[in-house]
């Protein structure tokens, strides 16, 4: 950011710069605590000029959240190659990278509150969840999910959110452990449903088919068997 060196920017360029500056501030502190004055100062422009591009703080917040949502959704995209567990683990790493980069803003958004709970922000949060859901189904090779599979995938996504939020609150557990744990949780939740549903049982068999014998799922299964005996 070059503050002081003012050059003329085009309208769209200036908007994009403001969104970037705002996103950084909204990520590092609760959005309630970030003022337009601060954003103007960080962008090296006057407060009235900020209002020239965005009618108010909420619209700038929504634009910043749109950029963050696009960024996060893009991190869910993973090549359809190799064992499923390893793919999901790579996605979990990128997810925690994102959570790490945007910690306070992520917490404030996901915990809700007057400053962040507009219908636009809720729609953006839902769009990210939907992007995650669509990606997972595509890796499972399912186009028309039965209700029980939809439930497992969507509820696991909320488990991943809450795990990330709890991690942010004090960071008392190494994130690498939680990334691996969420992959295992996914397998475990599918298995619980598969124990009582033949369609999910067939899916689980396909899921673990390509898992290496020394991979994380085999390791988990071995440990669980040891624990049970």
Give the interface with a copy of itself as residue ranges (CB under 8 A): 111-114, 116-119, 122, 147-148, 150-151, 154-159, 161-163, 166-167, 170, 172-173, 177-178, 181, 184-185, 188-189, 191-196, 201, 204, 220-221, 223-224, 227-228
Residues 6 or more apart in contact with residue 205 via CB below 8 angstroms: none
CA angle 104, 107, 112 (to 5 degrees): 130
Nearer to a copy of itself, 42 or 140 (CB): 140
Between CA 197 and CA 107 the distance in angstroms is 36
- Looking up tokens 């969840």 gives 129
Q: How far is the CB of 21 from a copy of itself (least distance, A)?
A: 26
Q: How far is the CB of 162 from a copy of itself (least distance, A)?
A: 4
Q: How far is the CB of 90 from a copy of itself (least distance, A)?
A: 19
Residues in the chain: 229
Nearer to a copy of itself, 36 or 220 (CB): 220
Between CA 165 and CA 146 the distance in angstroms is 29
Nearer to a copy of itself, 42 or 201 (CB): 201
Q: How far is CA 180 from the centre of its chain?
A: 16
Nearer to a copy of itself, 52 or 223 (CB): 223
């Amino acid at each position: 950011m070059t503050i002081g060196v003012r050059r003329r920017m085009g309208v769209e360029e200036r908007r994009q710069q403001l969104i970037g500056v705002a996103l950084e501030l909204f990520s590092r502190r609760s959005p309630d605590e970030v003022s337009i004055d601060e954003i103007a100062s960080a962008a090296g422009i006057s407060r009235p000029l900020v209002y020239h591009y965005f009618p108010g703080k909420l619209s700038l917040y929504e634009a910043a959240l749109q950029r963050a949502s696009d960024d996060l959704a893009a991190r869910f995209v993973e090549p359809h190659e190799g064992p499923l567990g390893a793919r999901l683990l790579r996605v979990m790493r990128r997810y925690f990278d994102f959570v790490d980069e945007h910690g306070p803003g992520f917490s404030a958004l996901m915990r809700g509150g007057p400053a962040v709970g507009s219908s636009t922000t809720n729609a953006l949060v839902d769009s990210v969840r939907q992007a995650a859901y669509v990606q997972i189904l595509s890796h499972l090779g399912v186009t028309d999910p039965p209700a029980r599979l939809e439930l497992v995938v969507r509820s696991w996504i909320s488990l991943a959110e809450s795990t990330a939020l709890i991690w942010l609150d004090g960071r008392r557990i190494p994130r690498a452990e939680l990334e691996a744990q969420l992959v295992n949780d996914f397998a475990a939740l599918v298995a619980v449903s598969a124990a009582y549903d033949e369609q999910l049982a067939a899916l689980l068999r396909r899921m673990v088919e390509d898992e290496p014998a020394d991979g994380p799922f085999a390791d988990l299964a071995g440990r669980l068997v040891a624990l049970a005996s």
